[in-house]
Amino acid sequence: MKNQAEQNPIAPPEAAHATPEAGAVNFESLGSRLRAGRERLEISLRELARRINVSPSLISQIERGLAMPSVSTLWLLSTELGLTIDELFSTSERASPTPSAALGPETAASGSPVLRRQARKRIGLAGGVAWERLTAQPDDEVEFLHVVYQPGAQSCPPDQLFRHGGKEYAYVLSGRLGLQIGFESYELEAGDSASFSAQMPHRLWAVGAEPAVAIWVVINRTGDTRRTGGDAGRAGTASPRKRG
């Protein structure tokens, strides 16, 4: 780790009318799952927006498949609605289904522990962030992800750190990744790793001109003893910032 974290120009926090890539979870499917979760809990669109500190119009656009959420917004929505990331990945709609023969018999078989690279389910988020699920089957106890931050991409703006339940573990495969936890900032390179409580306000961003690629694990995400009622985890950042 380095003790200076270079920040790239801020990418837009939410992206509207983007085109999903092959293999990605359909925008409308993701939005419909979020809407179903909200309606199941009988939470109005305006109340949900108030709880996670975004506009009702943004949530409406996300639910209708007209906009993709940022990393922080998706975490806050899923936490507030009691949804796992696995549930958001799960969809019968795939842009380009891969023939079973190309996946191999163990991947094609139901209940297999093996997941072939070409069979990963993917969510493309606003601002150039992509998540791919690395578990062959849904897992309620862990989020196991391949994460890519394109140049300029960030999980949230510098003054809007977020937090949620669980503990996070990261291993950087390539590129450089900025990580802020509370007042301290770090720069991770290929081969570096980090672990921290996700209940601490935090933020991620790509550093430099190359994509930052990492393996990410989140455990016990629903075990957030800090979160109550209207506090879904948005946290502001204070100044001055202390660098580790």
Q: What is the pLDDT of residues 141-173, one digit of tens each?
A: 888 999 999 999 999 999 989 888 899 999 999
What's the pLDDT at 233?
52
Q: Which one is predicted more confidently, 19 or 129?
A: 129
Number of domains in the chain: 1
DSSP character for 118? G
Q: Is residue 145 one of the residues assigned to a domain?
A: yes
Q: Tell me what percent of the residues of the chain surpass a pLDDT of 90.
A: 46
Q: Is residue 118 one of the residues assigned to a domain?
A: yes
CB 234 within 8 A of CB 53: yes
For 17-44, what is the mean pLDDT? 74
Angle at 220 between CA 27 and CA 160, to 5 degrees: 60
Q: Is residue 120 one of the residues assigned to a domain?
A: yes
pLDDT at residue 59 greater than cutoff 70: yes
Tell me the residue ranges of DSSP E strands in the chain: 15-16, 67-68, 122-125, 129-133, 142-149, 167-174, 176-181, 184-188, 193-197, 202-207, 212-219
What's the pLDDT at 234?
52
Strand partners, 216: 145, 170
> Range of 200's domain?
23-96+112-219
Q: Is residue 127 one of the residues assigned to a domain?
A: yes
Query: What is the pTM for the complete model shown?
Result: 0.71
Q: Is residue 129 one of the residues assigned to a domain?
A: yes
pLDDT at residue 23 greater than cutoff 60: no
Q: Is residue 186 one of the residues assigned to a domain?
A: yes
Structure tokens at 58: 């943004």
pLDDT at residue 15 greater than cutoff 70: no
Q: Is residue 7 one of the residues assigned to a domain?
A: no
Q: Is residue 215 one of the residues assigned to a domain?
A: yes
- Residue 193: give its domain's CATH number: 2.60.120.10
Work out the pLDDT band at 50, boundaries 50, 70, 90: very high
What's the pLDDT at 137?
84
Q: What is the pLDDT of residues 221-232, one digit of tens each?
A: 655 443 433 344
**Number of C-beta neighbours around residue 129 at 10 A:** 25
For 175-199, what is the mean pLDDT? 97
What's the pLDDT at 63?
93
